Structure 1
Amino acid sequence: MIESDIQVDLARLTGLPVYPLILPSSVLEGVTYQRISDPMFNTGLVSTRLIAARFQISVILNDYTRALKLEAKIRSAWESVQHGYLGRYPVQTISRGALYQEAEELTENRKRYRITRDFIITFAEVPDD
């Protein structure tokens, strides 16, 4: 299952706690990930086991500049993968998608920033995954 390798790699790259879907209510900063879609990779000529999965990765911090830098670090590391590995999971390629940004007002004049980047990860879907 590629999600566990994504979680480990995000923790390695950011040094932050990483969670699927949302941060727990007791956690103010961290990284979240989720699979948004996973259509079969279609060349029009050949049937393959490849899928082009869209994952959303969110960096959530109280420091906007640091959040931007961590998103850039993830992007730089992942976009360099060509017929390599994401963690221990073999992938064909990783490309960037849309970028979203938002800020949330917290108590005591604090803010929390969310930088969300879509990544398209092309990999072979394993039946026993």
Structure 2
Amino acid sequence: MKEIKDIFKTIHAPHEFTDLKFENKRLALYKNDVKHSVSQISTGQRAALAISIFISLNRKLKNGPNVIIFDDPVTFIDDFNALSFLDFLRYFIVKENKQIFFATANKKFSTLFKKKFEFLQNDYKEFYLER
């Protein structure tokens, strides 16, 4: 849970939730000691929470592949939090030697993604798919 909380705090702002707990087989988020279920938070907050859980579980794989596939994970996340997510993702793939496949239909976000990952130089590949 600590790792999920840390990732969530890194990729989601404002930091209105002070705690995240697993109680009675359900996740609960706390804001000023008031409990909120996952169904009571915004779609963007749920997306950030799901990404946090996904990345945390991926880190736990002992013999899993060093590949992570994302299909438009920032669809419901505002621009500021999308930036935070990309910054975290850059750190994550470099620190943990991961390869990512990232699909998005959002041209603006695609351009931002390219700028954030151009430091990879020849290891960065971009593919355009059309119907």
TM-score class, shorter-chain normalisation, is 0.3 to 0.5
TM-score computed with the length of structure 1 as normaliser: 0.38
Larger helix proportion of the pair: 2
Larger strand proportion of the pair: 1
TM-score computed with the length of structure 2 as normaliser: 0.37
